[in-house]
Amino acid sequence: RHQERHQAPASPPPPPPDTGDHMALLSNWAGANVELKDHKGGKGDRHNQWNTDGLPDAARRIVENDRDSASWRQKLQKMEEVLCGGDAGYADMDALGYSAIYLFWVGVGAVACAEDGSHYRPNHHAGSAERIYQHIEAVEAHATGSGGRHAEEVRALVRRLHPRLPAFTAEFTQSVPLTRVRDIAHGKGDRDGKCREVRAEIKHTIQNKLHRCAGPEDLVATEKMLAKLTAPGTDYPPEFVEEFRIFHRELKDFFNASTVTDRIEKLLREGDAPQSLRDAAKSFADAKARCDGIREPEGPALLAAVEEALARLSEARRAIDRELTEGGLRGANADQRQQWRLAEIGLEDYAFVLLSRGINALGAEADPPRSEMSAAEQRAALLFLAAAADAVAVSAGGGGGEFAGVAHEASELAVSGPGGMPPGGEEGALRSRAVAERARRAAEDHCAMLSDLFDGRAGALGRALGIDQHVVEVFTEGQIRASVVFQSAKLASHLLRAARAATGEAGWDCIVPGEVKGARLVCVDRLLPTDPTVASLSASDPAIVCVASADGDEEVTTCGPGVVGILLCHALPHLSHLALRARQAQTPLVAIEDPNLAAKARALADAPGVHLKAAPSAISLDACEGGYVGGGGGGG
């Protein structure tokens, strides 16, 4: 959902109202096809492998456990051994890191679950989840108390584990949970007997399977069945369809796949929530409803509504976190603590949606991106940046100081000028640039942390389990692109672009700093290893490549050691795949956003060599004598 292309994206419609039909998993499923059957199926194939050669202890145990654990229940029980073996509060970073990756892959089907020949109802899964939750909650609390980078790393891992555990509320720990599906299979709501075929499919594909050996594939099967029941042109009895909708919501509750609004509404309806949470939740719900009610893709009313919704969302997150760590929820039952923590995490995820809508309303995603903003738009952009930075700071706990600083500076600057607007003129542009550059550095540092946590571990675990190579390669990038830090980087770029326009600076953007001297410059349409010009380059005959167009999904390393710098003739997001890979390879990368400057750069293709100096504060590109000097290079 977070892919970016050079082609201008259409403005997205406002998010639809949350409904019980929200498909939580089907679109993200990376496992084998789940078929609806009217008879008992087989145990299911396991398409993974289990190679433990050279693995660290935690990864080795996970791979060995997966080999010996076909079902989701068995995998969860074995995860208890990996995650809960140490002292209370002790953070085994390998255990946390490899487990977060492994449970993510299990949840989307990349690591297959199959029936194990036994008969255990979902309450056994819930029991394992409760024990794991209590341990990682203690680990998170201990790390948060120590603060610093370690706290940020631990929370980044633990917060990715929480949504991968099933719920263990009373409805799922009872001896026979999720009984509604049995009533549906037996005909509840099917007054005229029109649903015999789908009832047989529900019985064999969902009911029996769920009650003897539940796994993520059961949610996929349920979502496929709901799509079948509600497809255009169908005439299944409304009572029958409604019963299945209710069951779908119940199953999402078990897999902790509900929407954040559904989760909060249920918590307020069924639990004894502190008044502070009720007030914060109501304020957010009201602000969200006003935002959802605006159908236009841009305009001052939408910007104001997104600003308000983000502010109320932040207040709700902080209220939940405060109650969980030092308030009334600290002593609540573990099942309620889990649900409120997931509500807080879900609010962070929804901040991504709100920020995306705000960014599009500002024209930051247009092609070419807008480089001028009104005072009201600049105010909105700064407040959106503050909200994004604040969201990361809340998640980082004791390690989010830099993002907290960005949030404070941006929110203060947004209203520090006449009439509650940002200051104008060159001084205002320079102050805006300073905040945006700080935000960009914080975002890049956060992404480097995620890369350190996940890249090596995902590669090692993926190879050991035989995971599809593409799934392995995009794991870390997927974590970055799905986070609000991705949005903060977009907003920083938009503010920097506007600041450069206001101060009359050159229209190019340093994405990866560096210096290259003496290499020649070559021009290509696309950055592809199969391009004849790119393929002809080598370490002994390198070049800076001037690229006419890129999607942002290109690789640097596959182009070989002859590519020592990249000039891209249009804007590029700083956290795109190409930017992330260029940063890892330490290959200087500059986006030239001014067509006239791009033409001047291309004209240097006739020079014997060029001298590129790329820094956030200044960029220069000049002709020089040949003879390469520099540390760039995408290959190895």
- Per residue, the 3-state secondary structure of 385-397, as one string, reads HHHHHHHHHHHHH
Look up the pTM and report it: 0.90
Mean pLDDT by 10 residues, the chain (636 residues): 36 43 78 85 76 97 97 97 85 96 97 94 96 96 87 96 97 94 95 92 95 96 96 95 97 97 94 91 97 93 98 97 93 96 98 97 85 93 98 84 96 96 93 96 95 97 96 94 96 93 85 96 97 95 96 92 96 92 94 93 96 92 88 46
User: Which pLDDT does position 42 carry in this prediction?
Assistant: 60
Q: What residue type is 97 in one-letter code?
A: G
Report the pLDDT value the prediction gives residue 250, as an integer from 0 to 100. Answer: 97
Q: Are the C-beta atoms of 364 and 491 separated by less than 8 Å?
A: yes
Cis peptide before 573 (omega within 30 of 0): no
Measured CA angle at 442 (ends 140, 307), to 5 deg:
85
Task: Please give the CATH architecture assigned to the domain spanning 508-630.
Answer: 3-Layer(bba) Sandwich (3.50)
Which pLDDT value is given to residue 43? 62
What is the structure's pLDDT at 340? 97
- What's the maximum distance between 2 C-alpha atoms anywhere in the chain? 86
pLDDT confidence of residue 145? 83
Residue 269 burial by CB count (10 A; 0-12/13-18/19+): exposed, middle or buried? exposed
pLDDT at position 398, please? 61
Catalytic residues: 577
Pairwise CA distance, residues 253 & 262, whole Å: 9
Beta-bridge mates of residue 284:
none
Could you tell me the two tokens for 580?
């992330």
CATH 3.50.30.10 range(s) for the chain read 508-630
The pLDDT assigned to 90 comes to 86
Whole-number Å distance between alpha carbons of 526 and 518: 23
Handedness of CA 512, 352, 356, 408 (dihedral sign): negative
Cβ burial of 423 (10 Å; 0-12, 13-18, 19+) is: middle
Say what the pLDDT of residue 110 is: 96
**CA 221-226-231 angle, 5° bins:** 125
Indicate the pairing of strand 543-547 with strand 520-524.
parallel
